[in-house]
């Protein structure tokens, strides 16, 4: 099983983090991102979107970090990280959507501007971050983990770009519940870090 990976990408880190926490063996294939390897064949044959990560397991090819988490957890995670009950899966999916939209277009996009010089409207990323972070903080006031009473792929999906917020010029100091949740994630057995986290 191969993960086409970019080390500074928080979306790739989602997958590396989960694989480490769930003790799933994944072969890392480093992609020459600056050289545009992900924007041309053979990588665009795997993912026409020209994005990373990409997971290849036999005949299965997956784009989108949230989908990869669902697959790894469902196929190799033993049920702990991606429950089988519909009402619990739905509670996890709420946060996969949040990771895909509000976190990606908020703190993750702010970091793309500051750290990598992307031509994205910084004010828009800050405005989106100023909405999602207080909602996340309030949600965590009475909970240890995002979706259910134990860590799930919801936490793995939301964690990277929230923990990397400072690299987009966003301080987490106002968000005490988020900071405590970050500490809890970091204390999980098998936790894997990345630069900036």
Q: Is 62 in the site for a second copy (CB under 8 A)?
A: yes
Distance CA 103, CA 55 (A): 22
Dump the DSSP string for 83-138. -SSHHHHHHHHHHHHHIIIIIIIIIIHHHHHHHH-----HHHHHHHHHHHHHHHHH
Distance CA 128, CA 192 (A): 28
Q: Is 178 in the site for a second copy (CB under 8 A)?
A: no
Number of residues lying near a second copy (CB under 8 A): 37
Q: Is 23 in the site for a second copy (CB under 8 A)?
A: no
Helix then strand then coil, % of the chain, to nearest 5: 55, 10, 40
Closer of 37 and 64 to a second copy (Cβ): 64
Q: Which stretch binds a second copy (CB under 8 A): 1-9, 15-23, 100-108, 110-118?
A: 100-108
Q: Mutual orientation of helices 122-139 and 109-116 as an angle, nearest 10°? A: 130
Output the six-digit token pair for 44: 């665009």
Q: Is 176 in the site for a second copy (CB under 8 A)?
A: no
Q: Is 80 in the site for a second copy (CB under 8 A)?
A: no
Q: Residue 166 burial (CB < 10 Å; 0-12/13-18/19+)?
A: middle
Q: Is 49 in the site for a second copy (CB under 8 A)?
A: yes
For 157, the enclosing helix (H) or strand (E) is helix 153-163
Q: Is 64 in the site for a second copy (CB under 8 A)?
A: yes
| Residues 102-131 contacting a second copy, CB under 8 A | 104-105, 121, 124
| Residues 130-149 contacting a second copy, CB under 8 A | 135, 138-139
Q: Which of 30, 67, 80, 176 binds a second copy (CB under 8 A)?
A: 67
Binding-site ranges for a second copy (CB under 8 A): 48-49, 57, 60, 62-64, 66-68, 70-71, 73-75, 82, 84-87, 89-91, 93-94, 96-98, 100-101, 104-105, 121, 124, 135, 138-139
């Amino acid at each position: 099983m191969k993960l086409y990976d970019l080390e500074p990408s928080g979306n790739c880190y989602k997958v590396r983090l989960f694989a480490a926490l769930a003790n799933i063996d994944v072969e890392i294939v480093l992609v020459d991102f600056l050289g545009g390897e992900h924007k041309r064949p053979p990588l665009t044959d795997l993912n026409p979107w020209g994005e990373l990560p990409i997971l290849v397991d036999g005949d299965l090819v997956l784009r989108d970090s949230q989908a990869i988490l669902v697959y790894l957890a469902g196929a190799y995670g033993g049920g702990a990280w991606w429950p089988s009950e519909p009402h619990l899966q739905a509670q996890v999916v709420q946060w996969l959507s949040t990771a895909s939209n509000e976190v990606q277009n908020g703190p993750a996009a702010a970091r793309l501007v500051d750290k990598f010089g992307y031509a994205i409207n910084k004010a828009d990323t800050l405005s989106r971050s100023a909405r999602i972070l207080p909602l996340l903080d309030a949600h965590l006031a009475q909970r240890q983990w995002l979706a259910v009473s134990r860590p799930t792929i919801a936490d793995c999906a939301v964690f990277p770009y929230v923990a990397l917020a400072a690299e987009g010029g966003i301080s987490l100091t106002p968000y005490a519940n988020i900071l405590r949740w970050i500490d809890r994630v970091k204390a999980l057995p098998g936790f894997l870090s990345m630069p900036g986290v």
